[in-house]
């Protein structure tokens, strides 16, 4: 089944859950990629909170593709507890608001990242806008 375009999803649509293990190799590659010396001061067993947020965005993009012209307007995130290397996370996302006006879609997407214990480690919301009906247009 093809990946749907985000602009076609209705309010209430739940994207497929995405599971990911935070291996020490993945965390190390993340730290190198962001080039932030402050992260190096963290306890070696802890995962930087923004690495967890990056996985949330990845889950969103795995569940639906961004159409051409999509603009990220903002996000808010709450990190509820530290995450440790080796932990397996489950990320779910759903469309919580969607409106169209003058050919543009304004959409709110809620993310919930849960740990092995099924308790939330991060909750967040992203707001996006994109041209309506542009799926597949290059």
CATH of residue 127: 3.10.129.10
Distance CA 70, CA 60 (A): 13
Does residue 104 belong to any structural domain of this protein? yes
Q: In the predicted model, is pLDDT for residue 136 greater than 50?
A: no
Phi, psi at residue 39, to the nearest 5°?
Answer: -65, -35
Does residue 36 belong to any structural domain of this protein? yes
> In this predicted structure, what is the pLDDT of residue 109?
94
Which class for 137: exposed (0-12), middle (13-18), buried (19 or more C-beta within 10 A)? exposed
25-58: pLDDT as tens digits: 888 888 888 887 777 666 778 888 888 888 878 7
Does residue 1 belong to any structural domain of this protein? no
- Asked whether 103 and 52 are in contact (CB, 8 A), the reply is no
Q: In the predicted model, is pLDDT for residue 68 greater than 80?
A: yes
Does residue 12 belong to any structural domain of this protein? yes
Does residue 91 belong to any structural domain of this protein? yes
State percent of the chain over pLDDT 70: 93
Q: Is the pTM of this model over 0.75?
A: yes
Does residue 67 belong to any structural domain of this protein? yes
92-127: pLDDT as tens digits: 999 999 999 999 999 999 999 999 889 999 999 999
- Asked whether 122 and 20 are in contact (CB, 8 A), the reply is no
Domain of residue 12 covers 7-131
Phi, psi at residue 125, to the nearest 5°?
Answer: -145, 135
Number of domains observed in the structure of the chain: 1
Does residue 137 belong to any structural domain of this protein? no
């Amino acid at each position: 089944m093809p990946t749907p375009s985000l602009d076609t999803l209705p309010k209430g649509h739940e994207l497929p859950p995405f599971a990911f293990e935070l291996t020490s190799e993945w965390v190390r590659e993340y730290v190198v990629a962001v080039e932030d010396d402050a992260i190096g001061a963290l306890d070696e067993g802890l995962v930087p909170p923004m690495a967890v947020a990056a996985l949330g965005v990845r889950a969103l993009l795995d569940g639906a593709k961004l159409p051409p012209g999509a603009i990220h307007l903002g996000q808010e995130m709450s990190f509820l507890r530290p995450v440790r290397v080796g932990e397996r996370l489950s990320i779910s996302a759903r469309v919580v608001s969607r409106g169209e006006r003058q050919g543009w879609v304004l959409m709110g997407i809620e993310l919930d990242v849960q740990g092995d214990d099924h308790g939330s480690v991060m909750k967040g919301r992203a707001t996006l806008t994109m041209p309506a009906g542009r799926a597949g247009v290059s």
